[in-house]
Amino acid sequence: MAPAPSPLAFIPFVSVENMMRLVHHFGIETMLRELTDAIEADYLRWHLFEKTPRLASHSKEGVIELMPTSDGEAFAFKYVNGHPSNIAKGLQTVAAFGLLARVDTGYPLLLAEMTLLTALRTAATSAMVARRLAPAGSRVMAMIGNGAQAEFQAIAMKAIVGIEEVRLFDIDQAATQKVARNLAGSGLRVVPCDTSEDAIEGAHIVTTCTADKVYATILSDNMVGAGIHINAIGGDCPGKTELHKDILGRAATFVEFEPQTRIEGEIQQMDDSYPVTEFWKVLSGEAQGRTDARQITLFDSVGFAVEDFSALRYVLGKLEGTEYFQQLDMVADPDDPRDLFGMLQRAAA
């Protein structure tokens, strides 16, 4: 018998199945609230993070990205693809996993699926921003684009911002029906709409989350009244936007990490002099958020590595005392670190 691997060799791994169990164990609203606070706490430590551009490998079908960051104690990266053509093949357009590691030794701490976790952290980030920027007393959200992210967005806005009604629109009615079905029993009043104009009627928050990789106009200028918050999460890579640029001209725009959003966000339509505020500055008090009830605030969200870092650290903390992980023998750990070959030889015995 080969000797058993040492405890150092094992890395906890959270599969898709276990991530779902974890969510149900703690409850999705509790997890979204805690995750929102975890991301906010990390945004308040903004200066500690190593902020690298993501590493993207483009092909004609899509993109594969590695998104790393570090706060000097932990290092995290997410592997994520974006393949709009996957839908036609019955595959997810986005699949992701991530890793957290110790900076002082380089040893991994956690490997986790991040397709579900990304949906959760994206919704938590949207809610973190909306609870600071949306008009006081916001109760109604329009949800334009009813794909994989929609329910997570709606539930986060309910749990963290106090949204009571969600008004749905998608060019594909089946998508709207799916969201309405899934949100029955969520405690939200769900209103399917026939046009995006209907959906926006009376909304305090407008969330846009459509998937096409094109310069689209999901919202045109005349559709957008005063005193709303726009949570724009679909325009998130070069060549993919959702808002007419005239809306940007009237809005106060907030971003995650300006150099990345200039390339990937709605503001790729504007020149470099267009003013934006990095949202962490609102949290730290270095910049103002909403200044006027009639203002249009816009969160031009593209997804940033710090949010994945927060999500992975949050999940690692929740695992303790649960059984929602497997131990993976992923790191060779010989008795004598220089004796890798001896470890291999002894395994043959």
Residues belonging to the active site: 236
Tell me: does residue 293 bind its own copies (CB under 8 A).
no
Give me the sign of the Cα torsion angle 97, 43, 58, 240. Answer: positive
Q: Among residues 150 and 283, whose Cβ is nearest to its own copies?
A: 150
Strands 63-70 and 74-82, bridge-based pairing? antiparallel
Strands 108-113 and 96-102, bridge-based pairing? antiparallel
Q: Among residues 104 and 320, whose Cβ is nearest to its own copies?
A: 104
Tell me: does residue 192 bind its own copies (CB under 8 A).
no
Give me the sign of the Cα torsion angle 310, 311, 314, 316. Answer: negative
Give the 3-state secondary structure of residue 133: helix
Stretch that binds its own copies, among 93-101, 195-203, 213-221, 307-315 (CB under 8 A): 93-101
Q: Among residues 197 and 339, whose Cβ is nearest to its own copies?
A: 339
- String of contacts with its own copies for each residue 42-61, x by CB under 8 A: --------x-x--x-x-x-x
Q: Among residues 52 and 269, whose Cβ is nearest to its own copies?
A: 52
Residues 6+ apart with CB under 8 A from 198: 167, 169
- Rule CB under 8 A: choose which of 1, 47, 105, 272 binds its own copies: 105
Tell me: does residue 148 bind its own copies (CB under 8 A).
yes
Tell me: does residue 109 bind its own copies (CB under 8 A).
no
Tell me: does residue 21 bind its own copies (CB under 8 A).
yes
Q: Among residues 263 and 270, whose Cβ is nearest to its own copies?
A: 263
Residues 263-292 that bind its own copies (CB under 8 A): none
Question: Is residue 51 within 8 Å of 257, Cβ to Cβ?
Answer: yes
Q: How many residues bind its own copies (CB under 8 A)?
A: 84
Distance in angstroms (rounded) separating the CA atoms of residues 143 and 196:
9
How far, CA to CA in Å, does 68 sit from each of 15, 122, 125, 238? 21, 17, 18, 20
Question: Is residue 189 within 8 Å of 131, Cβ to Cβ?
Answer: no
Residues 162-181 that bind its own copies (CB under 8 A): 175, 178-179, 181
How far, CA to CA in Å, does 301 sit from each of 105, 111, 304? 33, 25, 8
Tell me: does residue 83 bind its own copies (CB under 8 A).
yes
Strand partners, 65: 56, 80
Tell me: does residue 89 bind its own copies (CB under 8 A).
yes
Q: For residue 243, how far is the Cα from the chain centroid? A: 20
Q: How far apart are CB 178 and its own copies at their closest, in Å?
A: 6
Stretch that binds its own copies, among 132-140, 147-155, 248-256, 311-319 (CB under 8 A): 147-155
Tell me: does residue 212 bind its own copies (CB under 8 A).
no
Kind and range of the H or E run holding 345:
helix 340-348
- DSSP count for the chain of H helices, then E strands: 11, 18
Residues 60-79 that bind its own copies (CB under 8 A): 61-64, 66, 68, 70, 72, 75, 77, 79
Q: Among residues 147 and 227, whose Cβ is nearest to its own copies?
A: 147
Tell me: does residue 7 bind its own copies (CB under 8 A).
no
